Structure 1
């Protein structure tokens, strides 16, 4: 892992369908959190589940914080799976970005002109200028 992966030919429509399907899905630790948002999006675009090893393993805050501690936070998880971070100015549609959220750093999904962020009640959107780092997908 940790290398640029190949997107499926129809990735733009897969990404759009994915975002629409998650628009109103509220936060759920280990299912609909910032890490699973981007992992599920990457899976939709590439067909590869890079988060398979963690699915169902951290359903509580305590388990999630332990996992994040072990891997160096959300940025460490992204780097492990996607390779080194790049400048947020290089983020394009479908790439993963790092933002500062009220609870701390979070992963989000670049949609081109905005980013999608997992929130308590579903997706919220922020300007791409909110990105602090990015990972190419």
Structure 2
């Protein structure tokens, strides 16, 4: 289980990250939904939780194989079981916390920001209402 602590300037770091995420499609292994959630965690805590996974997949199938190899069924398992982030009620999530939404039958990871829940899909960056979250996890 990770022990993460929020940095004193986490709110400014998170705001800079949000403004820097362009509205372009995600790229597997570079800017997919899980890496977007991890970028939110890094902005808030300074910790790169995805370091052990970076460079280990470049396709959706490769990401799925890696998740299964690590004992995870989906991105919700990666955040909760693999990284050990504590689950919280989705409506209790605050800026900088991470979670998942279900879009067209597919789970997508992201983080809570001042504009709602930010996630990256294969087609674009998306802001959704916090009520759209299926699950949430505390960061710091």
- Structure 1 CA distance for aligned equivalents of residues 5 and 47 of structure 2: 9
Contiguous gaps of at least 5 residues in structure 2: none
Output the TM-score relative to the length of structure 2. Answer: 0.88
Q: Deviations over 1:58-83 (max 9, x none)?
A: 11222111122332311111012142
- Any stretches of 5+ residues in structure 1 without a counterpart? none
RMSD of equivalent CA atoms? 1.7
Aligned length: 136
User: Where do residues 23-62 of structure 1 align in structure 2 (5 Å cutoff)?
Assistant: 23-62=22-61
Shift of 1:112: 4.7
Asked if structure 1 preserves the Cα contact closer than 8 Å seen for 2:37 and 2:119, the reply is: no
Contact in 2 for aligned 1:82/1:136 (Cα 8 Å): no
TM-score by length of 1: 0.90
Q: Which residue in the other structure is 1:115 paired with?
A: 117
Which residue of 72, 83, 89 corresponds with 1:87? 89
1:82 and 1:15 map into 2 onto residues whose CA distance is 21
Extract structure 1 runs of 4+ deviating beyond 2 A: 23-26, 119-122
Give runs of aligned pairs for residues 91-102 of structure 1, distance below 5 A. 91-102=93-104
Q: Distance in 1 between matches of 2:111 and 2:27?
A: 17
